[in-house]
Amino acid sequence: MAFLLVRTTLILVGLIMLFGQLGGCGDTGDEASNTSSPDPAVASTVPLPPWLSYCDTSACDPTPVIATICPKTNPLCTPLRSSYVVTAVNGRAISGTFFPLAGPVDANLHLVSGNGQAIANYLWVYSALHLQLASESDLQISYYNIPLNWGGTTALNFEGIQLKSSLVDTVFYRHPSYDTGTAASQFHTQAQAIIMSERAITDLTTEHATAFVMPTELAVVSGGEGNFSYGNGTVTINYGNPPYIAALGGIANTALPRFAHEYAHELFNEIHSSVLSGNIFCFNEGAAEALAFLTGFLPETEFGPIGLRGDDFDAGCLPLSESHDVGNCYFWHIKNSGLLTPSFMHGIFHPQHAFTFNSCTQTDIRTGNSVLVYFTEAAGGANMIPVLDSMKIPHADSYTAAKLALGL
């Protein structure tokens, strides 16, 4: 199977729930508990997401990431005290992490060296055995408010548990100070229901799936928020952080819609390389959202009509530029027409022709003609002209004319 790496909606980016300057990190919400004991089912070793590795079995960069917190009046200060921060899963050091820092509001975070990144009060360590963090001010790190151990090592340790089934293995991570309740088993059970529902509609199967379900700290991916489909059965889900989870009403509400979206990508990967070519990225995103919505695992508010950049799909698809918004807009108008049905989505995953078009250039008439023919045939010959008109994208006057223009 061809490798496919797909970013999902930016809606789950952990950064959206916190502040842009150094400051407090907020409470852990209704699901939090500072007295929870480790899950007895936690295994000593669990697999890690593809971008992470255990430092005792892989060559983690021995050069530390070095960062300082300095007053705004002296941004290049050289603090005399520091702490080594080591991130681990089940007590084993791992290669990377992401977290916010809580400290004085009149200070700046500065990356001195190493394979990392610092923006406002957020710090990424992409690959290093440890982080050396220096400051004269008292600090707390991560969404779990861990105080730094000055002059020693600060452990940021997460627990991981692996659950297995014939359809999917799930690896669920949490910080021990945050009580996730039954979220691990609930996700595992519902992930199987999602797989069965989406397979039933598409009449497609994939390899045995593995889902990595993690808090924001472990979604330390450069250029992405941690929600991915790899096209080989591997799916990664960032369920967010305590403020975000509280805002959405629980881990199930943050993680399950993303899994439904990502697993839809796995199914789309089964057909796209043989029948779809060109820049199919935006169409792929829209199809994943539509299938997840149709199966009932993605809320309508995440599907439309307001996109990630605040644009209204009901005004048409032409003004859109963000890839997820473009793809969602195509399928949102199908939904508004009453044609977003299981048989329609089955047709999307079993196109009658090979199409070549740039799905992210909705101003191109070839894109409009391809969408017109593709959607008409998926809908069993229904008149798609009003639907394309509502999208406001250019297209031929009829299905027949569009098909002729495409040489089909």
Band (103; pLDDT cuts 50, 70, 90): confident
Please count the other Cβ atoms lying within 10 Å of the Cβ belonging to residue 1. Answer: 12
Per-residue confidence (pLDDT) for residue 157, from 0 to 100: 96
> Each residue of 30-83: pLDDT tens digit?
333 333 333 434 457 899 999 999 998 877 888 899 999 999 889 889 999 999
- Other beta carbons within 10 angstroms of residue 169's beta carbon come to 18
Give the whole-angstrom CA distance, residue 83 versus residue 258. 36
Cα gap 190→321, rounded to integer Å: 33
Digit-coded pLDDT (tens) for 223-257: 668 999 999 999 999 999 999 999 999 999 999 99
pLDDT tens for 169-224 read 999 999 999 999 999 999 999 999 999 999 999 999 999 999 999 999 999 886 66
In Å, how far are 2, 252, 290, 332, 392 from 360, measured between CA atoms?
Answer: 21, 31, 17, 15, 14
Whole-prediction pTM: 0.89
State how far the alpha carbon of 100 is from the alpha carbons of 127, 333, 373, in Å: 17, 39, 48
Residue 66: φ, ψ to 5°: -115, 130
pLDDT grade for 11, boundaries at 50, 70 and 90: very low
CA dihedral 261, 266, 268, 271 (to 10 degrees): 180
